[in-house]
Amino acid sequence: MPSFTKNAIVESFLRIVGKKPLDKITVRDVVDDCGINRNTFYYYFRDIYAVLEEICHEVAEKLPENETLSATLTAFFRLLYDFAADHPRTVRSLILSLGHDGLERYFAADMDRVIFDCLLRESGERPCSRDYLRRLTAFVRHAVFGICTDALRNDRREDPEAMLCDLSRILDTLAASLHEKH
């Protein structure tokens, strides 16, 4: 469980990134906003970008374990969508500051682990090669993250439930293909 101070740093970061581009935010901005000293900030984080890494890691930790690929990634979509609803300016600023690829990099390691595990489980009795699963993992991560960031970039104009339904159908089809010979 993160400490009160660590949470205060994260909340300050979220407030500030909603007001200015990520590359313009300094440690001084965050410490001034949350009323701590620089040493306290550096006790928890090595730099501003480590705060963003922590936020992304916390989102990934909320993903269900031992679920289907579809259930896991629709949960990821819902988590991002809910985060965007709570922090719309922050998300818009992060997408503008980092772009799709830059933001995806912060989620990549956690997402790859989760997706790979789901695909491995779903391949069941017809195990696929690890190389094939790694390529499929990268494909799924890029696709799902792209759908998520496109939806967020479009200011939530699309119905999230319809998007979740479509995403779930796509992922179920993909999972079913794992039972074919590769």
Burial annotation 56-67 (CB, 10 A radius, 16+ → b, else e): beebbeebeeeb
* Domains identified in the chain and CATH numbers: 1-56 (1.10.10.60), 62-182 (no CATH)
pLDDT of residue 70: 85
pLDDT of residue 16: 96
Residue 15 CB neighbours (<10 A): 16
pLDDT of residue 138: 92
Let me know: does 147 contact 163? Beta carbons within 8 Å.
Answer: yes
pLDDT digits (tens, 9 = 90+) for 113-155: 998 998 888 887 677 788 988 998 999 888 888 887 777 776 6
Let me know: does 149 contact 99? Beta carbons within 8 Å.
Answer: no
pLDDT of residue 3: 86
pLDDT of residue 72: 87
Q: Which amino acid is at 129?
A: S
pLDDT of residue 1: 37
pLDDT of residue 179: 63
pLDDT of residue 2: 56
pLDDT of residue 78: 85
Distance (Å, whole) CA 94 – CA 52: 10
Task: Please identify every stretch of the chain with a pLDDT value under 50, giving residue numbers as ranges.
Answer: 1, 182
3-state secondary structure the chain: CCCHHHHHHHHHHHHHHCCCCHHHCCHHHHHHHHCCCHHHHHHHCCCHHHHHHHHHHHHHHCCCCCCCHHHHHHHHHHHHHHHHHHCHHHHHHHHHHHHHHHHHHHHHHHHHHHHHHHHHHHHCCCCCCHHHHHHHHHHHHHHHHHHHHHHHHCCCCCCHHHHHHHHHHHHHHHHHHCCCCC
pLDDT of residue 147: 80
pLDDT of residue 123: 81
How large is the greatest C-alpha to C-alpha distance in the chain, in angstroms? 59
